[in-house]
């Protein structure tokens, strides 16, 4: 059995699952703790249906855990460290070329990890 191929496929599936702008922002949104669907949708200015669909995918891949309270569904990261690991990826991206001059990786990192209320989202 080509175990190595299995690992690379699993890895690719995992990466595909998080490789979407909305889902990345959602993961970042859950960095500090659980949130319900409406809160996430409002924070990111996305239609709730879309957020729900993304969450269903993340749930299917066990990247988030669900907790129901009344009619609200609260989601949290299954691996709290995931958000930090994603931020580390910024070092591999030439963000400099695409943001305003003077910006660099550190500012991108700061921007990304800043609280929602402080950012120009």
Partner DNA sequence: TGCAAACCTGCGAAGATATGCAGATAATGG
Partner DNA sequence: CCATTATCTGCATATCTTCGCAGGTTTGCA
Candidates 32-40, 50-58, 64-72, 111-119; binding stretch for its own copies (CB under 8 A)? 111-119
Could you give phi then psi for residue 72, rounded to 5 degrees? -100, 140
Task: Tell me if 46 contacts its own copies by CB under 8 A.
Answer: no
Which residues ranging from 24 to 53 are in contact with DNA (CB under 7 A)? 36-38, 41, 47-53
* Token pair belonging to 8: 């690379």
Binding at 113: pick from its own copies, DNA, none (beta carbon under 5-8 Å per type): none
Query: Reduced to 3 states, what is the DSSP secondary structure of residue 69?
Result: strand
Residues ≥6 apart with Cβ < 8 Å to 36: 72, 73, 74, 75
Q: Where does this chain bind DNA (CB under 7 A)?
A: 16, 19-20, 22, 36-38, 41, 47-53, 55-57, 66, 68, 70-73
């Amino acid at each position: 059995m080509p175990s190595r191929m299995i690992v690379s496929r699993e890895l690719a599936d995992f990466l595909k699952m998080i490789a979407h702008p909305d889902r990345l922002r959602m993961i970042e949104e859950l960095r500090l703790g659980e949130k319900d669907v409406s809160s996430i949708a409002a924070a990111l200015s996305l239609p709730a249906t879309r957020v729900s669909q993304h969450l269903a995918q993340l749930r299917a891949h066990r990247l988030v855990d669900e907790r129901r309270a009344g009619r609200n569904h609260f989601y949290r990261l299954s691996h709290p460290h995931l958000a930090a690991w994603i931020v580390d990826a910024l070092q591999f991206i030439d963000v400099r070329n695409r943001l305003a001059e003077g910006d660099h990786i550190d500012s991108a990192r700061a921007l990304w990890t800043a609280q929602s209320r402080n950012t120009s989202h």
